[in-house]
């Protein structure tokens, strides 16, 4: 496991590829506020 290994993060950086271990887009931020549900009528 090292620079020549396509399955590791270090290998993907060396080869310039992306995948499960090194996604192009970072983790999605899911802290968006949901619309408040108004109870009662």
pTM of the model: 0.47
Q: pLDDT tens for residues 1-41?
A: 788 888 888 888 888 888 887 788 877 766 666 655 566 65
Residue 34, CA distances (Å) to 18, 30, 37, 38, 40 in order: 32, 10, 9, 12, 18
Measured distance CA(25)–CA(38) in Å, rounded = 35
Query: Do 21 and 7 meet the contact criterion of CB atoms below 8 Å apart?
Result: yes
Measured distance CA(21)–CA(8) in Å, rounded = 7
């Amino acid at each position: 496991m090292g620079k020549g290994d396509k399955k590791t993060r270090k290998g993907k950086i060396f080869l310039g590829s992306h995948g499960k271990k090194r996604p192009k887009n970072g983790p999605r931020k899911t802290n968006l506020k949901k619309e408040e549900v108004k109870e009662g009528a």
